[in-house]
Amino acid sequence: MADTRYTVMTSPVGELLLTATDDGLTGVQFAPHLTTPDRRGQRDDAAFSDVVAQLEEYFAGRRTTFDLRLAPTGTPFQRSVWDAIANIPYGKTISYATVASRIRRPTAARAVGAATGRNPIVIIVPCHRVVGADGSLTGFGGGLDRKTLLLELEARASAAGR
């Protein structure tokens, strides 16, 4: 297994733990759900300069997509869900059932919810854009206050024409 590197960045939604291997970015986690210190690997702030810059641009409303090499660890099903979520357009939301249909598993909305909850690369793989069938904000590992903040940020930037 490749050596893991990490850094911690401050953001409008609290501290974020960024982790990566030589294969790419493996994690963006919210505090207090940060990986325990013994699993982080070696701190290497310089290795994350591009990730931090892109996240800062996102939070400033100047970036709507990310251009990063991702290397999440998960089951084939989880990865298919994360791939589908990664394609939700900036400023838009879709339901868990819609994600299930997009991965050709139309009866798997609950399993999609579970996989979404295990997304290791939040914000960049925008699980905050997945909502309940009725459009309600449901289930977000970072808390509904963070989900609301991220969706409002995207709505403001979209309204401003970015």
CA 121 from chain center: how many Å? 4
In contact, 15 and 34? CB cutoff 8 Å:
yes
Q: Tell me whether residue 138 is exposed, middle or buried, using C-beta atoms within 10 angstroms of its C-beta: 0 to 12, 13 to 18, 19 or more.
A: middle
Which member of 55, 122, 127, 153 is catalytic? 127
CA distance 48 to 40: 14
In contact, 129 and 151? CB cutoff 8 Å:
yes
> Is 127 part of the annotated catalytic residue set?
yes
Name the one residue in this structure whose structure tokens are 């939301």.
93
H-run or E-run covering 99: helix 96-102
Active site residues: 127
